Amino acid sequence: MSVLVVGSVALDSVETPFGKADDVIGGSATYFSASASHQTPVQLVGIVGADYPTEKLQPLADRGVDLAGLEHADGESFRWRGRYRHDLNSAETLETRLGVFSHFRPKIPTQFRSAKYVFLGNIDPRLQLEVLKQVEKPKLVACDTMNFWIESRREDLLTLLKHVDLITLNDGEARQLTEQSNLVQAARWILDRGPHTVVIKKGEHGAFMFTRTSVFFAPAYPLESVFDPTGAGDSFAGGFMGYLARTDDLSEASLRRAVIHGSAMGSFVVEGFSITRLMEVTRADIDARVADFHKLVSFDAKLPV
């Protein structure tokens, strides 16, 4: 099965303690697609300006990302400029220029409308709802969001929750949305409002997946060096959704493996700027990291006599 993603396609300029990159390709849909394309074909819907170096997206197209839904508009592309300090835990945004992204109205190409796996990247919940009107009968709809929409579009976001099966958000966003400081209670609050699955991402501290009957936890992979954290959350989502779409299996066991695939992709992307590492790694690398995750958390619960 292929997976449909709607989100931003941007140009990022990033500074970390280890280097600097200017106008490299970024955006939620870009990271998601680079990550998911290791598992399954991807259909991307987004918008870029006349200045976008579209040739840089060719490697994505070469790996099975269908760019038929990438709108080319007059004007400037979405640009983000940020900096990470030594601890790499949080980005300091130096500049955001939305450009054509501020007028984005997602148009789902006819051939994408039968998508069974849909990921609504972090855009205005009103647009996320518009996307849902354009798709036919997806098997799994997942969405992401952020603090800005939780503040400014709370009611729309709550409406959206009724129509999605799964939401991914980080721990701070989960607390902000639910006004619950405890993550178990926050997850329950969300589960009571629509989604059957909630994935709470804690960055370097791993990720929880809550369903109405289970809790699963995956650590972040203990890397010796993190080069650039940009895109980790979207790469996680891409690995997660890509795995589910590829296997077309929504059992608990499959969801757990999907979280680990997401975590694996998140651990790769931070090893370089932009999507560099995502384009380098092979399926064998991914499988090896999944096996490493298994070693990392495995223990035998049996007690000695």
- Which CB, 75 or 206, lies closer to a second copy? 206
For the window 231-250, what string marks contact with a second copy as x by the rule CB under 8 A? ----------------x-x-
- Which CB, 21 or 290, lies closer to a second copy? 290
Distances (CA, A) of 299 to 161, 256, 278, 281, 294: 36, 17, 30, 28, 10
* Residue 163 C-beta: closest distance to a second copy, Å: 27
Q: Is 130 within 8 Å of 155 (Cβ atoms)?
A: no
Taking residue 111's Cβ as centre, other Cβ atoms within 10 Å add up to 11
Closest CA to 156 of 132, 184, 137: 132
* Residue 199 C-beta: closest distance to a second copy, Å: 14
**Residue 179 interacts with a second copy (CB under 8 A)?**
no
Closest CA to 3 of 128, 86, 120: 120
**Residue 293 interacts with a second copy (CB under 8 A)?**
yes
**Residue 36 interacts with a second copy (CB under 8 A)?**
no
User: Could you say which of 59, 64, 172, 206 contacts a second copy (CB under 8 A)?
Assistant: 206
Distances (CA, A) of 235 to 78, 149, 170: 19, 21, 14
- Which CB, 81 or 256, lies closer to a second copy? 256
Considering only residues 61-90, where is the footprint of a second copy by CB under 8 A?
Answer: 86-87
- Which CB, 130 or 292, lies closer to a second copy? 292
Considering only residues 250-289, where is the footprint of a second copy by CB under 8 A?
Answer: 253, 256-257, 259-260, 287
**Residue 194 interacts with a second copy (CB under 8 A)?**
no
Supply 253's token pair: 């066991």
Q: Is 295 within 8 Å of 68 (Cβ atoms)?
A: no
Residues 141, 164: Cα–Cα separation, whole Å: 5
Considering only residues 126-165, where is the footprint of a second copy by CB under 8 A?
Answer: none
**200-235: burial string, b at 16+ Cβ within 10 Å, e else:** bbbbbebbbbbbeeeebebbbbeeeebbbbbbbbbb
Supply 114's token pair: 């039968």
User: Could you say which of 156, 217, 250, 272 contacts a second copy (CB under 8 A)?
Assistant: 217
Residues 267, 270: Cα–Cα separation, whole Å: 6
User: Could you say which of 14, 160, 218, 281 contacts a second copy (CB under 8 A)?
Assistant: 218
Q: What residue ranges bind a second copy (CB under 8 A)?
A: 86-87, 181-185, 202, 205-206, 208, 214-219, 222-226, 247, 249, 253, 256-257, 259-260, 287, 290-291, 293-301, 303-304
